[in-house]
């Protein structure tokens, strides 16, 4: 399809060109054209274009005006805007040229479908130039003879067209060449300037749509001159120390114009300019003397000029030129203060005099030296002391007193007025009141209320408080009529100690101090808290104060924050003076985390966390539990022991009753030597040493550790006596059981009868007195079949049996048995034993047992040799350590009795541990 139409179009185009009658030279002439050709249109205006077809094309190509279509940049113009004027002319109308674009083409639809371009034009749309406004000119002096005039104007709106601006100027009879701006459209510079002639200046703007001229500016260029600033400015000092002379050259001659000037100056370190009054420099000149300057001060001068009548422009300021005024004598004495050190000796002061170097405008030159004069006011006769000092301090050793110190500063011109400082012996005058501070930007204002008395001046001391170094004092003097000054050079976040002294004509007031900060911040670190003591429900926290460098402000309070691991944080506020605090109501045996925060007016800082664990028990709780428990235990044990002691028989009966074994009863063997012994013994010795060996059955408690102690042997003595009584009635043999009661045997048998019976019939018997476990003891008499005669002792005892004599004899016996050591007999114990004997026969039985045991171990009172006894004792102990229960045989084995009584009737076999049957 496309190819077909393409072929048709090409063919038609070819026909058009071939049929063109004007075609010549290979050029192609179109079949029409548009009127107007490439128009420039005003934006917003209406526009009509005509497309005119050549007559030659009409007939040949059947092309008519009704086939024309208009296009703007390939966009079809609505046919409502077309109008067919005749068969060869078609017009198109645009009511607003803003809708136009380039190109505007005239086209034709051949055969109603094939579009063919006939002609096209370029349409330029823009605006006519506006009238330039605000034309102004200025003549710049470029050099001594060169002036250029630059004029500027407002070119008006953008025209979208190429608009030419030109600056024109003329005299009434002279027209000058136009000034064409380069690269700009709002200014132009004219280099050929003639003064003193009114020149008419105007701007002309022109483009394709029109031309516009500004209002003319008529001006004599001399009235719009901006001259060059004066050159070669020099400053020279004059005779007076307050005057400097400025000289300069003018770039412009008086023939052109006369000038007036402005002179400004400043101290070289200052930024503020001062100006010489303009009326002083309103006339042409090339020099000027500036007065009222400070001596010995470097100034910077600058100057500018303009036409004398003030019409025109000021020149730029000239470059600064410096000059120094000459010296003058110092205008005032240096401010002076002192520090008195009386630490070495109260009576001798070390006075540190110090003064401030004069400010340059006070020194008026180079201070060469200071003269210090000290006068002792307390002694009129004392001479003045003078010191020449080059530094700003001087130290004197002075006795305590009142002094007047005078200070003079000297420079090359002269001396300053004196500064006088009165140093009184004591600061007894009234101090200032209500000392206070207030930060003011970078200064710290110190204010006070004056005392009631007239004050000459005040001395304000201040120093930076430091924990690591001494307070380096700075000071300043204020006049007596002020009640506050600004301290400069104060650093923020630093603590300053400020002291104010009032100075009176006749003395000095004591200083009042205050601490102050220029600016506060939060502390640079928080306090480090730790525990001093931790209890069950409380903990004592301690911390150290922050150093003054760390505080950065006044510590208003400390805040303690503590919590358990999973608990809420508790906050406690503490006075800043405290360094210890006790946390109470804590939970026992709990881990706590505590931290501490120091706060100033400007914030807080928290210190590191610290953990501690409360104790499980409070103070004394353990003691309160353990001690009573121990006491109770001991009491119970004691009671138990007592109980057991009291009930030992019962216990023994129940736990380890001694069941006598008759089969193991021993019967002492009669020894054939005994009769000889008996014979040897006198009647007085009714009971010879070996008489107790009659008791041949002995049981020794293996655990009875005290079996050898004297204490235990005392009742044994008693029993000896008892036994001596009872044994006389008993067969003297054989009670193998500790339970056997000799008394029982006594009571159970009639003495007389028993004696008689035994004398006729020798019976060896073992008597068991106590029953087993509350059973009625059964008296068992084991009858011996032996027919051997009774021992002498028994016979004798039988002889003396009965009656009160037996007692006496026993006493005697004890005395005898006590031997040389009669004191061994413990009398009280004996008496007590008697009581017990009367009170409780059961106990007595026990005693008997003990007695027997003691006898077996230590035959106390038997007059044995001590060494032998000890040997025997050691034997017994040895036996015990071997864990063997000492049997009655042990007693019989006792070498004491054997050795003591070589003619013992005890059978040797028994001594050897065995029973030798008779």
Binding site for other proteins (CB under 8 A): 145, 171-174, 192, 194-198, 220, 222, 253, 255-257
What's the min distance (Å) between Cβ of 254 and other proteins? 8
Q: Which is nearer to other proteins, 196 or 643 (CB)?
A: 196
Contacts of 766 (CB under 8 A, 6+ apart): 660, 662, 665, 697, 733, 734, 735, 736, 737, 740, 780, 781, 782
What's the min distance (Å) between Cβ of 146 and other proteins? 10
Q: Which is nearer to other proteins, 252 or 290 (CB)?
A: 252
What's the min distance (Å) between Cβ of 192 and other proteins? 8
| Burial (Cβ within 10 Å: 0-12, 13-18, ≥19) of residue 775 | exposed
What's the min distance (Å) between Cβ of 101 and other proteins? 51
| CA torsion, ordered 865, 870, 871, 873, to nearest 10 deg | 130
Q: Which is nearer to other proteins, 255 or 655 (CB)?
A: 255
> What are the percentages of helix, strand and coil residues in the chain, rounded to 5?
25, 30, 45
What's the min distance (Å) between Cβ of 276 and other proteins? 28
> Three-state SS for 853?
helix
CB atoms within 10 A of CB 48: 13
Q: And the tokens for 13? A: 């185009």
CA pair distance 238, 730, nearest whole angstrom: 158
Most distant CA pair in the chain: distance in Å? 206
What's the min distance (Å) between Cβ of 253 and other proteins? 6
Q: Which is nearer to other proteins, 174 or 316 (CB)?
A: 174
Q: Which is nearer to other proteins, 12 or 313 (CB)?
A: 313
CA-based R_g, the chain, Å: 73
Quickly list DSSP for 517-582. Answer: ESS----SS---EEEEEE-SS-EEEEE-PPPHHHHSS---EEEEEEEESSSPPEEEEE-TT-SEEE
Q: Which is nearer to other proteins, 221 or 365 (CB)?
A: 221
What's the min distance (Å) between Cβ of 256 and other proteins? 5
What's the min distance (Å) between Cβ of 284 and other proteins? 14
Residue with tokens 């505007």: 104
What's the min distance (Å) between Cβ of 227 and other proteins? 14
Q: Which is nearer to other proteins, 145 or 633 (CB)?
A: 145
Integer angstrom CA distances of residue 802 from 729, 758, 795, 813, 864: 9, 14, 13, 16, 29
Q: Which of 723, 698, 742, 767 is nearest to 906 (CA)?
A: 698
Task: Give all strands (DSSP E) within 113-209, no chain letters.
Answer: 114-121, 124-126, 133-141, 147-154, 164-171, 174-175, 187-190, 199-207
Beta bridge partners of 562: 570, 594
What's the min distance (Å) between Cβ of 43 and other proteins? 44
Q: Which is nearer to other proteins, 255 or 804 (CB)?
A: 255
Q: Which is nearer to other proteins, 253 or 761 (CB)?
A: 253
Strands 124-126, 40-42: pairing is parallel
Q: Which is nearer to other proteins, 139 or 560 (CB)?
A: 139
What's the min distance (Å) between Cβ of 228 and other proteins? 17
Q: Which is nearer to other proteins, 308 or 550 (CB)?
A: 308
What's the min distance (Å) between Cβ of 193 and other proteins? 9
Strands 68-72, 75-76: pairing is antiparallel
What's the min distance (Å) between Cβ of 305 and other proteins? 17
Residue with tokens 């500004």: 214
Contacts of 631 (CB under 8 A, 6+ apart): none
According to DSSP, residue 767 is labeled B
Phi, psi of 503, rounded to the nearest 5 degrees = -110, 125
Q: Which is nearer to other proteins, 197 or 368 (CB)?
A: 197
Q: And the tokens for 715? A: 């009742």
Q: Which of 897, 770, 752 is nearest to 840 (CA)?
A: 770
CA pair distance 181, 177, nearest whole angstrom: 13
What's the min distance (Å) between Cβ of 200 and other proteins? 12
CA angle 155, 160, 163 (to 5 degrees): 50
What's the min distance (Å) between Cβ of 275 and other proteins? 29
- 574-579: list long-range contacts, CB under 8 Å, 24+ apart: 579/542, 579/543, 579/544, 579/545
Q: Which is nearer to other proteins, 201 or 769 (CB)?
A: 201
CB atoms within 10 A of CB 143: 8
The separation between CA 913 and the C-alpha centre of its own chain, rounded to angstroms, equals 89
Q: Which is nearer to other proteins, 191 or 428 (CB)?
A: 191
Q: Which is nearer to other proteins, 92 or 222 (CB)?
A: 222
What's the min distance (Å) between Cβ of 262 and other proteins? 23
| Helix-helix angle 841-857:710-726, to 10 degrees | 110
Q: Which is nearer to other proteins, 68 or 179 (CB)?
A: 179
According to DSSP, residue 191 is labeled -
Contacts of 504 (CB under 8 A, 6+ apart): 429, 453, 454, 455, 456
């Amino acid at each position: 399809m496309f190819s077909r139409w393409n072929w048709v179009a090409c063919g038609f185009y070819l026909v058009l060109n071939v049929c063109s009658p004007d075609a010549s030279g290979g050029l192609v002439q179109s079949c029409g054209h548009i009127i107007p050709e490439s128009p420039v249109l005003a934006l917003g205006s209406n526009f009509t274009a005509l497309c005119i077809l050549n007559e030659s094309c009409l007939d040949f190509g059947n092309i008519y005006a009704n086939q024309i279509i208009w296009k703007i940049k390939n966009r079809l113009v609505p046919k409502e805007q077309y109008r067919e004027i005749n068969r060869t002319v078609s017009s198109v109308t645009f009511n607003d040229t803003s809708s136009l674009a380039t190109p505007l083409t005239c086209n034709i639809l051949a055969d109603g479908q094939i579009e063919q371009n006939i002609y096209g034009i370029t349409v330029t749309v823009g605006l006519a130039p506006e009238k330039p406004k605000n034309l102004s000119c200025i003549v710049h002096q470029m050099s001594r003879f060169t002036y250029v005039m630059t004029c500027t104007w407002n070119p008006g709106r953008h025209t979208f067209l190429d608009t030419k601006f030109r600056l024109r100027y003329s005299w009434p009879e002279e027209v000058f060449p136009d000034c064409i701006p380069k690269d700009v459209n709002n200014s132009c510079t004219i280099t050929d300037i003639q003064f003193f002639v009114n020149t008419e200046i105007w701007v002309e703007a022109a483009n394709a749509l029109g031309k516009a001229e500004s209002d003319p500016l008529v001006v004599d260029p001399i009235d719009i001159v901006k001259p060059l600033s004066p050159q070669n400015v020099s400053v020279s000092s004059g005779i007076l120390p307050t005057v400097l002379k400025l000289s300069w050259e003018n770039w412009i001659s008086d023939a052109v114009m006369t000038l007036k000037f402005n002179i400004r100056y400043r101290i070289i370190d200052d930024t503020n300019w001062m100006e010489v009054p303009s009326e002083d420099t309103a006339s042409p000149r090339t020099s000027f003397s500036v007065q009222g300057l400070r001596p010995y001060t470097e100034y910077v001068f600058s100057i500018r000029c303009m036409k004398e009548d003030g019409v025109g422009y000021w020149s730029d300021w000239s470059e600064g030129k410096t000059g120094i005024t000459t010296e003058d004598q110092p205008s005032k004495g240096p401010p002076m203060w002192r520090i008195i050190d009386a630490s070495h000796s109260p009576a001798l002061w070390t006075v540190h005099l110090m003064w401030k170097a004069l400010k340059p405008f006070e020194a008026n030159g180079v201070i060469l030296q200071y003269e210090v004069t000290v006068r002792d006011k307390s002694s009129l006769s004392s001479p003045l002391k003078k010191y020449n000092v080059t530094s700003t301090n001087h130290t004197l050793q002075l006795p305590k007193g009142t002094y007047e110190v005078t200070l003079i500063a000297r420079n090359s011109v002269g001396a300053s007025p004196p500064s006088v400082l009165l140093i009184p012996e004591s600061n007894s005058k009234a101090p200032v009141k209500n000392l206070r501070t207030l930060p003011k930007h970078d200064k710290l204002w110190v204010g006070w209320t004056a005392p009631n008395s007239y004050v000459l001046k005040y001395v304000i001391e201040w120093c930076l408080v430091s924990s690591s170094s001494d307070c380096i004092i700075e000071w300043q003097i204020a006049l007596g009529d002020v009640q506050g000054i600004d301290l400069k050079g104060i650093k923020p976040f630093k603590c300053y100690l400020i002291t104010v002294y009032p100075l009176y004509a006749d003395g000095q007031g004591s200083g009042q101090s205050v601490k102050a900060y220029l600016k506060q911040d939060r502390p640079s670190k928080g306090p480090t808290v730790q525990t001093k003591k931790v209890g069950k429900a409380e903990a004592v926290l301690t911390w150290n104060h922050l150093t003054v460098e760390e505080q950065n402000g006044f510590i208003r309070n400390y805040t303690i924050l503590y919590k358990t691991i999973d608990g809420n944080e508790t906050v406690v506020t503490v006075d800043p003076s405290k360094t210890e605090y006790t946390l109470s109501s804590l939970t026992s045996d709990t881990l706590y985390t505590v931290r501490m925060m120091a706060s100033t007016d400007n914030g807080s800082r928290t210190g590191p966390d610290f953990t501690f664990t409360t104790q499980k028990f409070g103070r004394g709780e353990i003691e309160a539990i353990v001690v009573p428990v121990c006491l109770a235990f001991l009491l119970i044990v004691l009671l138990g022991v007592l109980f057991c002691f009291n009930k030992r028989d019962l216990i023994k009966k129940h736990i380890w009753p001694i069941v006598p074994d008759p089969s193991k009863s021993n019967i002492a063997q009669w020894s054939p030597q005994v009769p000889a012994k008996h014979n040897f013994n006198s009647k007085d010795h009714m009971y010879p040493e070996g008489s107790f060996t009659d008791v041949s059955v002995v049981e020794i408690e293996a655990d009875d550790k005290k079996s050898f102690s004297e204490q235990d042997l005392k009742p044994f003595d008693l029993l000896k006596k008892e036994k001596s009584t009872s044994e006389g009635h008993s067969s003297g043999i054989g009670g193998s059981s500790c339970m056997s009661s000799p008394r029982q045997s006594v009571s159970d048998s009639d003495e007389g009868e028993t004696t008689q019976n035994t004398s006729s019939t020798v019976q060896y018997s073992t008597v068991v007195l106590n029953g087993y476990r509350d059973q009625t003891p059964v008296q068992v008499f084991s009858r011996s079949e032996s027919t051997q005669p009774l021992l002498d002792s028994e016979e004798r005892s039988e002889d003396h049996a009965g009656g009160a004599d037996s007692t006496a004899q026993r006493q005697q016996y004890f005395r005898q048995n006590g031997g040389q050591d009669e004191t061994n007999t413990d009398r009280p114990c004996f008496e007590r034993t008697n009581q017990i004997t009367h009170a409780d026969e059961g106990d007595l039985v026990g005693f008997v047992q003990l007695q027997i045991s003691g006898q077996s171990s230590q035959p106390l009172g038997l007059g044995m040799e001590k060494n032998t006894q000890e040997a025997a004792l050691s034997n017994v102990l040895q036996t015990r350590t071997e864990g063997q229960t000492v049997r009655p045989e042990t007693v019989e084995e006792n070498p004491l009795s054997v050795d003591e009584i070589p003619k013992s009737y005890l059978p040797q076999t028994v001594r050897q541990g065995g029973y030798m049957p008779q």
